[in-house]
A and B are shown apart, each in its own frame.
Chain A
Amino acid sequence: MSSPALLELKNIHKKFQDREVLKDVNLTLHAGEFLCLLGPSGCGKSTLLRLMAGLEKPTTGSLHWQGTEKNFAFVFQEPQLLAWRSVFENTRLPLELQRRPLHEQNENSREALKKVQLGDFENHFPHELSGGMKMRVSIARALSSAPRILFMDEPFSALDEVTRFALQRQLRDLCETEKLSVVFVTHSTYEAAFLADRILMMNTQGGHFILNEEIHYRQGRNEALRSASEYQALVAKVSQKMQEAFR
């Protein structure tokens, strides 16, 4: 990957009491890259993501951001929408908390909602939305602050397959048009193979990477890709690696 590095993690160790979750992790996120952290539950991939977002502190090791501004947003596994706030107010929340000017709050939020095709739902409340729509609001909320990096922690894992596929396509398109860099945590090889420019597979113990696969498809990331032989071959390769590692 020739793009400049946005974020570098050097010799990261993370311990919870006596349990070492991450051991000597080194990772570089490049500008415009869609990076998937893949691995089974409990391998430390969410911890690594939370470390990048500053929600956890490394026991030892360091994080280096390009420039001084940590311009990122985080999308949780659950949408985490505030039930008493409308879709628009939920989307506006980051800008409100950052005390941006009101016109900027409103413009950015409306624009973010349009990007996830929820422009007509801004006055609805979360309980009036489907699971997929809630997640799209959560993504709009992340986009409203115009981040350079999106950290996403298994955001589609609770959704049905049809919604999940649709959101994967939308996310991939959004990242390309917005030139976003993404770190996406998942335990699904299919999801990782569809979304990622690079897959990093984590070991169960100690958190080092057992696979670092760059992905270049001949065709675009559309629905047809899922039945293409190059996609199927990659899924088979990654799955086999996973089977070998976690047997």
Chain B
Amino acid sequence: MKRWNQAAILSFIIALGGFEIAVRGALLPAFLFPAPSTVLKTLLDYKSEFTTAFLETLQGALGGLVLSIVFGLILAIVFSLSAFLRKAILPFAVFFQTVPIIAIAPLLVIYFGFGMPTVIAAAFIVSIFPIIANTLLGLEGVPPAELELFQLYGASASQTLWKLKFPSAYSSIYGGLKVSIGLAIIGAIAGEFVAGGGLGAMIDAARTQQRIDIVFAALGLLSLMGLLCIYLLKIFHRTLQKIRPYGLNLKD
């Protein structure tokens, strides 16, 4: 196991242990900060509810993320090919980035109704911008000499895009994906607050019942979801590297 992995696990154990001691020793009020052992017990007691909610949120976040990847990549490619369209459309993407999702979420319920479509839409809106911005950065960051090489051999715009710009942008796209994964989960939760379902609705219901333990358990699961998605992305990256060294200079 890598040294940084050991360090992360060790610091996590120390933090949890410290938290447990602090709550049991009455240094922290248990009704505001439940002990990790209490949270674990709650998780086990409501195992099936948490599992269902976890999978629902994951589905919503991944649905939004997939849409972001598809539309984000298409838009970035279009923007890289046309300065006019970039100027015309990019401000809308920036709007989605700057307006808080929690303010848009009620509108989404009106448009898409209660349930999964609203959750997916919220995750999509929040997570698309980093993919557009990073892909565009990568597509436009190709070294000039490499572009000249393609120019010298009479490459078409499509050849330059697919054989040079797109593979060259891999590192940037990967960076954008890492950010978007976290944002898609945030978007899905915000969507669930208003549209119901998943861990978002569970947190909202627990809040009204003062069940802090359920809120903490759901937060733990959300962190786990983020880590799991990032880990899967890393596995994808490492597998790809074994076949072809895209994004060679990327650091995990």
Q: Which residues of B contact A74 (CB under 8 A)?
A: 148-149, 152
Q: What residue in chain A is nearest B248 (Cβ atoms)?
A: A83
Given A55-B148, A127-B245, A127-B248: A82 in contact with B167 (beta carbons within 8 A): yes
Q: Does residue A1 face the partner (Cβ distance < 8 Å to B)?
A: no
Q: Which residues of A contact B248 (CB under 8 A)?
A: 83, 127
Q: Chain B's nearest CB lies how many Å from the CB of A50?
A: 8
A83 to B245, CA, bound (A): 7
Q: What residue in chain B is nearest A128 (Cβ atoms)?
A: B245
Given A97-B159, A125-B245, A127-B248: A80 in contact with B152 (beta carbons within 8 A): no
- Contact string, A51-76, partner B, CB cutoff 8 A, digits 1/0? 00111000000000000000001101
Q: Which of A73-104 contact B (CB under 8 A)?
A: 73-74, 76, 78, 80, 82-84, 93-94, 96-98
Given A97-B159, A127-B245: A80 in contact with B149 (beta carbons within 8 A): yes
Q: Does residue A105 face the partner (Cβ distance < 8 Å to B)?
A: no
Interface of B is mostly: helix
CB atoms of A98 and B164 under 8 A apart:
no
Q: Does residue B238 face the partner (Cβ distance < 8 Å to A)?
A: no
Q: Which of B130-150 contact A (CB under 8 A)?
A: 143, 145-146, 148-150
Q: What residue in chain A is nearest B156 (Cβ atoms)?
A: A97
CB atoms of B154 and A98 under 8 A apart:
yes
A80 to B152, CA, bound (A): 13
Q: Chain B's nearest CB lies how many Å from the CB of A7?
A: 15
Q: Chain B's nearest CB lies how many Å from the CB of A171?
A: 19
Interface of A is mostly: loop
Q: Does residue A145 face the partner (Cβ distance < 8 Å to B)?
A: yes
A127 to B155, CA, bound (A): 25
Q: Does residue B153 face the partner (Cβ distance < 8 Å to A)?
A: yes
- Contact string, B181-217, partner A, CB cutoff 8 A, digits 1/0? 0000000000000000000000000000000000000
Q: What residue in chain B is nearest A78 (Cβ atoms)?
A: B145
Q: Does residue B163 face the partner (Cβ distance < 8 Å to A)?
A: yes
CB atoms of B146 and A82 under 8 A apart:
yes
Q: Does residue B11 face the partner (Cβ distance < 8 Å to A)?
A: no
What is the size category of the interface that chain B forms with chain A?
Answer: 20 to 34
- Contact string, B145-184, partner A, CB cutoff 8 A, digits 1/0? 1101111111100010001100110100000000000000
Given A55-B148, A125-B245: A82 in contact with B164 (beta carbons within 8 A): yes
Q: What residue in chain A is nearest B244 (Cβ atoms)?
A: A84
CB atoms of B163 and A76 under 8 A apart:
no
Q: Which residues of B contact A55 (CB under 8 A)?
A: 148, 151-152
Q: Does residue B246 face the partner (Cβ distance < 8 Å to A)?
A: yes
CB atoms of B167 and A53 under 8 A apart:
no
Q: Which residues of A contact B143 (CB under 8 A)?
A: 80
A84 to B142, CA, bound (A): 14
Given A97-B159, A97-B163, A127-B245: A80 in contact with B145 (beta carbons within 8 A): yes
CB atoms of A76 and B245 under 8 A apart:
no
CB atoms of B153 and A84 under 8 A apart:
no
Q: Which residues of B contact A145 (CB under 8 A)?
A: 153
Q: Which residues of A contact B246 (CB under 8 A)?
A: 83-84
Q: Which residues of A contact B148 (CB under 8 A)?
A: 55, 74, 76
Q: Which residues of A contact B152 (CB under 8 A)?
A: 53-55, 73-74
Q: Chain B's nearest CB lies how many Å from the CB of A19?
A: 19
A98 to B159, CA, bound (A): 10
Q: Chain A's nearest CB lies how many Å from the CB of B139?
A: 15
CB atoms of A97 and B245 under 8 A apart:
no
Q: What residue in chain B is nearest A138 (Cβ atoms)?
A: B149
CB atoms of B145 and A97 under 8 A apart:
no
Q: Which residues of A contact B245 (CB under 8 A)?
A: 83-84, 125, 127
Given A78-B145, A84-B167: A93 in contact with B244 (beta carbons within 8 A): no
Q: Which residues of A contact B244 (CB under 8 A)?
A: 84, 125
Given A80-B146, A127-B248: A94 in contact with B151 (beta carbons within 8 A): no
Q: List 7 A-B contacts (CB under 8 A).
A: A73-B152, A74-B148, A80-B149, A83-B245, A94-B153, A98-B154, A125-B244
Binding site for B on A (CB under 8 A): 53-55, 73-74, 76, 78, 80, 82-84, 93-94, 96-98, 125, 127, 145
Beyond A83-B246, A84-B167, A127-B245, 16 additional contacts (C-beta under 8 Å) are A55-B152, A74-B149, A74-B152, A80-B145, A80-B146, A82-B167, A83-B248, A84-B170, A84-B246, A93-B149, A96-B163, A97-B150, A97-B154, A97-B159, A98-B154, A125-B244
